[in-house]
């Protein structure tokens, strides 16, 4: 069948069962957009207000559905506007395929209008990228991109398509998508046997999980594993939801803003079982003082993570779901009652707490947790509100918490919430935002309204860049350099002018009533919550300190 390159792009998207694409048109993707128009009964296109919004929406769609997120933009500034979203997805191992247009082949490298080497720009922040210079390779390149995005450690893949490739013609033949198999070739009997021996011999095992548990859909296997070996479980920010936040073995988040039980427990254990986690600096803090009495058993799909930040005593490279399934088949039920009770004692002695005077973000999030159910997805921006959400909202299932962990992208949450709502129309999608983050990409309110997406924005407004201000208070003698925002904007009126519902919470007594109203609104709604600019996130590990040297509330 003879087709144009643009039609081949769309046919390949249909092959991969893509039902939604996020993007913004332009001259060098105009032919692809024409083909999308002709195929709109198969693929829904969501027009965002800005290309960065499209990349974050594709990311949120992917995280919340488990499918590959797809976004498209034109050349030059259209492509570069995607870069932050691509880097966000790369750092958090999110499967995405990004399609960009470019100038015709004859104009490449000549500083042509709206030309940029987007393949060169994105080389460090993609699993792989392509510039298609032969139309006969176009279909196989797209198929390969989807496979790479999903295979092994997932991530974003970019395909740059010059305009004359989209305009040209060649033969096209339908192909079934290539089956993505779980990574198992390095899971040896010897590695499994050594792990079983380590776990069996341990008296104080501690499980530390990361985003790999969520990506590999291994939550059920993890639950069986933790209960089998009777070990407490802590999570990185990205791992939240991989293990139920309400389970008696769960100790809360670990790291800079982790719980005392998690941070103290990890330094008292004799075996750290790290599963789908990368020992980031926000978890480990001072390397020499991290888990000083413990052997490290590291289980991860990516061999590059082994011994990168923390040296392992033993490791298994492979898909988390498969590794845990095999370990569960070999392990015997264990009883670590003394150790579990010790950790339980830490949980009781050092609970998360805050001064409950006035309107507090922690209280708002606790009430939100009480009012929502399992059909809820929470997105966040980045900063204090993000940490309060991680601490006080109980995530019990994977794919219900969307946040930028590795890159820490302010402005991520609104686009991600839009993508999640598109991918999960029957779920309640809530974006918890700080005022600084919200202003970065608030233009995407127009997208939410245009598509009548019933997302809820909880705007935690402390009139400052709160996390930076917290550091300035604690470590810079209160020199608040450019962190006081002094808003003159009326956020409720702003939301209403966009066509949303605007609500206000000004005191503690209003919280439950207003949140309930927002949840039942069934249209885009913003809830403006004004808190004190000096409220802080505690516990906190100061830079360079041991993970169990925590600054506590008060």
- Which residues are identified as catalytic? 51, 113-114, 163, 467
Lay out the sheet containing 501-505: strands in order across. Answer: 401-402, 376-380, 428-434, 456-461, 525-530, 501-505
CA 430/CA 297 separation, integer angstroms: 36
Nearest to 347 by CA among 238, 269, 264, 224: 264
**Which of helix, strand or coil describes residue 436?**
helix
Handedness of CA 186, 190, 194, 200 (dihedral sign): positive
Q: Which residues contact 145 (CB under 8 A, 6 or more apart)?
A: 97, 128, 130, 157, 158, 159
Whole-angstrom Cα distance, residue 286 to residue 362? Answer: 28
Give the SS3 label for residue 505: strand
Q: Residue 235 phi/psi, 5° resolution?
A: -135, 145
d(CA 527, CA 495): 9
Q: Look up residue 7 and give its two tokens.
A: 């039609």
Angstrom distance (rounded) from CA 402 to CA 379: 4
Q: How far apart are CA 83 and CA 54, in angstroms?
A: 11
Neighbours of 496 (CB within 10 A): 14
Burial of 10 (0-12, 13-18, 19+ CB in 10 A): buried
Q: Residue 200 and residue 189: Cα distance in Å, rounded?
A: 16
Contacts of 554 (CB under 8 A, 6+ apart): 355
Residues 6+ apart with CB under 8 A from 172: 1, 2, 3, 7, 8, 11, 139
Polymer length in residues for the chain:
554
Distances (CA, A) of 155 to 158, 317, 328, 366, 467: 10, 18, 28, 33, 28
- Give the C-alpha distances (Å, rounded to integers) separating 554 from 354, 355, 471, 535, 551: 9, 8, 16, 11, 9
Give dist(CA 63, CA 135) in Å, integer: 32
Contact 502, 491 (CB under 8 A): yes
CA distance linking residue 453 with residue 460, whole number of Å: 21
- Tokens (6 digits) for 433: 């935002």
Nearest to 94 by CA among 190, 204, 197, 212: 212
Both tokens assigned to 60: 């949120």
């Amino acid at each position: 069948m003879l087709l144009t390159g643009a039609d081949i792009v769309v046919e390949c998207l249909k092959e991969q069962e893509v039902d939604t694409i996020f993007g913004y048109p332009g001259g060098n993707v105009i032919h692809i957009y024409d083909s999308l128009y002709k195929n709109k009964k198969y693929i829904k296109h969501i027009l965002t207000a800005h290309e960065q919004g499209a990349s974050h929406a594709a990311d949120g769609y992917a995280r919340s559905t488990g499918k590959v997120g797809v976004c498209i933009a034109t050349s030059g500034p259209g492509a570069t506007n995607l870069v932050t979203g691509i880097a966000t997805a790369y750092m958090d191992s999110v499967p995405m395929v990004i399609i960009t247009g470019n100038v015709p082949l004859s104009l490449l490298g000549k500083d042509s209008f709206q030309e940029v080497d987007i393949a060169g720009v994105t080389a460090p922040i993609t699993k792989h990228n392509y510039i298609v210079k032969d139309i006969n390779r176009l279909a196989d390149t797209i198929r390969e991109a989807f496979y790479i995005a999903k295979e092994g450690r997932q991530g974003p893949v970019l395909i740059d398509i010059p305009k004359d490739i989209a305009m040209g013609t060649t033969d096209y033949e339908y192909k079934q998508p290539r089956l993505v198999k779980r990574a198992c070739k390095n899971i040896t009997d010897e590695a499994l046997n050594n792990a079983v021996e380590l776990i069996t011999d341990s008296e104080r095992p501690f499980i530390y999980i990361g985003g790999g548990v969520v990506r590999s859909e291994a939550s059920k296997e993890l639950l069986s594993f933790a209960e089998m070996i009777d070990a407490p479980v802590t999570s990185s920010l990205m791992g939240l939801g991989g293990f139920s936040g309400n389970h008696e073995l769960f100790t809360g988040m670990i790291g800079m803003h982790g719980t005392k039980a998690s941070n103290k427990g990890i330094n008292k254990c004799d075996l750290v079982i790290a599963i789908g986690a990368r020992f980031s600096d926000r978890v480990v803090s001072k390397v020499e003082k991290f888990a000083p009495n413990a052997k490290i058993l590291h289980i991860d799909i990516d061999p590059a993570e082994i011994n990168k930040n923390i040296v392992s005593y033993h490791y298994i490279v492979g898909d988390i779901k498969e590794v845990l399934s095999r370990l569960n088949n070999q392990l015997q039920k264990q009883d670590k009652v003394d150790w579990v009770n010790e950790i339980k004692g830490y949980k009781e002695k050092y609970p998360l707490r805050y001064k409950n005077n006035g309107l507090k973000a922690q209280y708002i999030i606790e009430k939100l947790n009480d009012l929502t159910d399992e059909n809820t997805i929470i997105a966040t921006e980045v900063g204090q509100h993000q940490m309060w959400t991680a601490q006080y909202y109980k995530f019990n299932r994977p794919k219900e918490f969307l946040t930028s962990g590795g890159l820490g992208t302010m402005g991520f949450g609104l686009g991600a919430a839009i993508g999640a709502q598109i991918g999960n129309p029957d779920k309640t999608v809530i974006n918890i935002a700080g005022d600084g983050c919200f202003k970065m990409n608030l233009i995407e309110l127009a997208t939410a309204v245009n598509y009548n997406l019933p997302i809820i924005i909880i705007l935690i407004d402390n009139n400052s860049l709160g996390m930076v201000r917290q550091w300035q208070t604690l470590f810079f003698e209160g020199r608040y350099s450019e962190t006081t925002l002094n808003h003159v904007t009326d956020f409720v009126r702003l939301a209403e002018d966009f066509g949303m519902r605007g609500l206000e919470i000004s005191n503690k007594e209003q919280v439950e009533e207003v949140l309930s109203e927002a949840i039942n609104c069934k249209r885009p709604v913003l809830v403006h919550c004004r808190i004190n600019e000096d409220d802080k996130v505690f516990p906190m590990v100061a830079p360079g300190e041991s993970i169990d040297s925590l600054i506590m509330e008060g």
